[in-house]
Structure 1
Amino acid sequence: MIIRKYFSGIPNIGVLALTTEELTLLPLFLSEKDVSEVKEALKTEVFKTNIANSSLIGSLAAANSRVILLPGIVEDEEVEGIKNFIRELGLDVSVEIINVKNTALGNLILVNDYGCLISKELEDFKKEIEDIFNLPTEVGTIADLPTVGSNAVVTNKGLFTHPLVEEDELKALKELFKVEYCGKGTVNKGSTSVGSGIIANTKGIIVGGDTTGPEILQIEDALGLI
């Protein structure tokens, strides 16, 4: 399933939400109607929270099916809320915290269950991040941009990147994340920061409300939902 959606009129939904195969974190300001639509599209359970008293969950946190990684500025009660949610679902997911200067982990980390790419801004923390996710981890860019999480979306099935990614780079990323499908393009009427406008897992995709029909076709194809 793929749907277009605004979050309170905002098309950059990827900066506000984080999803894995089993759970989705959404900001507190969303209505129950929004929550219900997200739950149906992604086929996950949903928990509303803030990260560091901010609604920018997708920018601040990174996750795969086994780990949710949060910045050191996260509040204790936010961590406990997420942990309690995970326990209620009976999932084997750890919540980890890393203290780094640039706290926008979601913008700087691209990860699925098979591989991890981190920004050069996190290069000094490569070993720690590699140990946390227990995955092959590389330091790099997407289309020469350090914000790897903002400029690509990866699931356990597919990869969608900034449109200026070269073919050899796309091939290397496909191998790192061990995905069957890949592609490149834009979201929200030409935005190249595709991570800011897409929330996706292997079961569903939500794109920002400004996303055009041709963009949706590219996204569906790259993430293997066609």
Structure 2
Amino acid sequence: MEIEKYNYQGDTNVGFYATVNNSYAVIPRQFEEKEYFPEKTVQTRIAGTNLVGLFTAGNSNCLLLPESVKEREVEKIEESGINYHILDSIENALGNIILVNDRGAVISPELEDRKKEIAEALGVEVEIGEIGSIENPGVCGVVNSKGAVIHRDASTEEAEHVKEVLQLEDINIGTINMGSPYIGSGSVASDDFILVGHDTTGPEIGRLDRVTVERD
């Protein structure tokens, strides 16, 4: 497992710029392609911006795109071979409001009317949920197949809900980038690697390591 500090064009909020999982990575131009990225890695803009991680969410089965995605951006995704679905919703910041892995997804109450559509696209169980009483679960956590670190103010009930829906071995609360509770804004993760913003401290990395890395 690689855990690396990385800023995109000086911004520690690396989670706003990339969507990664075990099958693919979607990143903006000038985002460094790491040697441990999946073979399916595509550089593109989404909704005319570099905020790929803010506007998309997905697992190994499917990448969810917002209605604001541009035609040329969709073509880039198609050319990469990544399976995708354009979500029929006025909500565009999908990365903020969907926390997902290959076993489940926790989505914002704002997407309740799209729950079935999301479940069919991602191929997993989908449930409504909040983290730290915040209706944006995507920005409040980072997750892979083993575990998740979520907003420091998450209740025990919220943490157990996320753990159950995403079928995790472990879950814990924490921060990123020297105290930010919005873990998803400052990190991205797969089963093989984690990228965190440069301001992330040793103890913050240690918590991510304990929760998300498989031990022999």
TM-score by length of 1: 0.90
1:43·1:204 contact (CA, 8 Å) conserved in 2?
no
1:71·1:97 contact (CA, 8 Å) conserved in 2?
yes
Distance 2:124 2:195 in 1: 26
Distance 2:23 2:191 in 1: 10
Give the secondary structure class of the aligned counterpart of 1:137: strand
- Which residue does 1:39 correspond to in 2? 35
1:172, CA displacement in angstroms? 2.1
- Which residue does 1:182 correspond to in 2? 171
1:114·1:178 contact (CA, 8 Å) conserved in 2?
yes
Give the secondary structure class of the aligned counterpart of 2:5: strand
- Which residue does 2:78 correspond to in 1? 83
CA deviation profile, 1:74-111 (whole Å, cap 9, x unmatched): 1111111111112xxxxxx5210013112001111111
1:51, CA displacement in angstroms? 0.5
Give the secondary structure class of the aligned counterpart of 2:25: strand
- Which residue does 2:99 correspond to in 1? 110
Distance 1:104 1:140 in 2: 16
1:225, CA displacement in angstroms? 5.2
Distance 1:64 1:76 in 2: 22
- Which residue does 1:202 correspond to in 2? 191
TM-score by length of 2: 0.94
1:117·1:148 contact (CA, 8 Å) conserved in 2?
yes
Give the secondary structure class of the aligned counterpart of 1:39: coil
1:215, CA displacement in angstroms? 0.7
- Which residue does 1:4 correspond to in 2? 5
Distance 1:39 1:155 in 2: 19
Distance 1:225 1:198 in 2: 18
- Which residue does 2:206 correspond to in 1? 217
1:156, CA displacement in angstroms? 1.3
2:23·2:40 contact (CA, 8 Å) conserved in 1?
yes
Instruction: Tell me the amino acid that sits aligned with residue 67 of structure 2.
Output: G
Instruction: Tell me the amino acid that sits aligned with residue 50 of structure 1.
Output: R
Structure 2: unaligned runs, 5 residues or longer: none
Decide whether aligned partners of structure 1 residues 140 and 154 sit closer, same or farther in structure 2, where only a CA change above 3 A counts. same
- Which residue does 1:68 correspond to in 2? 63
Give the secondary structure class of the aligned counterpart of 1:116: strand
Give the secondary structure class of the aligned counterpart of 2:35: helix
Distance 2:207 2:214 in 1: 10
- Which residue does 1:19 correspond to in 2? 20
1:29, CA displacement in angstroms? 3.2
Structure 1: unaligned runs, 5 residues or longer: 87-92
Cα RMSD after superposing both structures: 1.4
Instruction: Tell me the amino acid that sits aligned with residue 195 of structure 2.
Output: I
Distance 2:8 2:164 in 1: 33
1:45, CA displacement in angstroms? 4.1
Distance 1:121 1:180 in 2: 28
Q: Which moved more, 1:168-177 or 1:201-210?
A: 168-177
2:67·2:90 contact (CA, 8 Å) conserved in 1?
no
* 2:137 maps to 1:148: yes
Distance 2:59 2:192 in 1: 14
Choose between structure 1 and 2: higher helix proportion. 1
The size of the alignment, in residue pairs, is 214
1:125, CA displacement in angstroms? 1.2
Instruction: Tell me the amino acid that sits aligned with residue 35 of structure 2.
Output: K
CA deviation profile, 1:97-134 (whole Å, cap 9, x unmatched): 01311200111111111111110111121121122223
Instruction: Tell me the amino acid that sits aligned with residue 171 of structure 2.
Output: C
Q: Which moved more, 1:196-205 or 1:97-106?
A: 97-106
